[in-house]
């Protein structure tokens, strides 16, 4: 059984997304620990990339700041190794296929396994091309997490049947970023997912308030939040761990 399933045992999961190295890796480590201390069930760690096509301006900005600050994939592996001294919740990477390609797929996933990464999300990897990485993922026990979008339609059942770790259900069309309201008929998508897999399903993209998180978690197994957290980090920089912790607690309490 995947380690990721522990995040969803007997509770709704709150999943924060954090761009590694914004403003620096030392602050990232403190933010992750604060988030976990305040109830985060699983943590998504973003490996910065120069062309993050799924991201809106907030997370794009975080990627740019991290890369300008000299963050590398190897430094992020060292960060995870340090976090694993005391952080026991599942952790997954979110990055882009080119990051894995340029590092070398076998080498990348071997390193994931060594430092304690449980899964990976690659938003620019089409479901039909996942075989590119799947063998290496399975060799090193790293779950390749599938995304399902409102446009997946006839492919929802097919993606769900082969899903592992958890399913990332994209709440709305477009890129990441906070939204005032989410109008997608998510219940019908979750129904199809449930009919085809027992793998948990969490909803992300656009969630920023406790009310939204509660609503999303009521129709799925959890809520994922990125841009709202990155905004806190952008505002408070090295002082942000405390504020991120307070925000995470408000979201965990809501769901």
pLDDT digit string, tens, across residues 10-41: 999 999 999 999 999 999 999 999 999 999 99
> 94 phi and psi, to 5 degrees?
-125, 120
Spatial CA neighbour of 31 closest among 218, 195, 186, 242: 242
Assign domain 3-254 to its CATH superfamily: Aldolase class I (3.20.20.70)
Can you give the pLDDT at residue 177? 45
List residues bridging with 145 in a β-sheet: 121
**222-249 pLDDT, tens per residue?**
999 999 999 999 999 999 999 999 999 9
Residue 53 pLDDT: 67
Q: Where are the domains of the chain?
A: 3-254
pTM: 0.93
- Pick out the chain residues at pLDDT < 70: 1, 52-54, 173-184
What is the percent of the chain where pLDDT is above 90? 85
Where do the DSSP E strands lie in the chain?
A: 13-19, 43-46, 91-94, 119-121, 143-145, 147-148, 167-170, 201-204, 222-225
- The whole-angstrom distance between residue 14's C-alpha and the CA centroid of its chain comes to 11
């Amino acid at each position: 059984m995947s380690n990721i399933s522990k995040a969803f045992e007997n509770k709704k999961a709150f999943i924060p997304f954090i761009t590694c190295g914004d403003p620096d890796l030392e602050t990232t480590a403190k933010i992750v620990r604060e988030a976990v201390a305040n109830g985060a069930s699983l943590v998504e760690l973003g490996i910065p990339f120069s062309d993050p096509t799924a991201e809106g301006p907030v997370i794009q900005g975080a990627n740019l700041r991290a890369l300008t600050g000299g963050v590398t994939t190897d430094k992020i592996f060292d960060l995870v190794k340090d976090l694993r001294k005391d952080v026991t919740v599942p952790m997954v990477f979110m990055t882009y296929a080119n990051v894995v390609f340029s590092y070398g797929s076998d080498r990348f996933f071997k390193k994931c396994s060594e430092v304690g990464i449980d899964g990976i999300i690659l938003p620019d990897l089409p479901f039909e091309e996942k075989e590119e990485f799947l063998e290496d993922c399975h060799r090193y026990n790293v779950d390749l997490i599938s995304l399902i979008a409102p446009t997946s339609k006839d492919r929802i059942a097919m993606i769900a049947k082969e899903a592992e770790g958890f399913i990332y259900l994209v709440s709305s069309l477009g890129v990441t970023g906070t939204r005032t309201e989410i109008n997608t008929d998510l219940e019908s998508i979750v129904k199809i997912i449930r009919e085809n897999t027992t793998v948990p399903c969490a909803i992300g993209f656009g969630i920023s308030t406790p009310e939204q998180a509660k609503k999303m978690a009521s129709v799925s197994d959890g809520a994922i939040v990125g841009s709202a957290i990155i905004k806190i980090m952008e505002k408070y920089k090295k002082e942000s761990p405390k504020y991120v912790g307070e925000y995470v607690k408000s979201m965990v309490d809501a769901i």
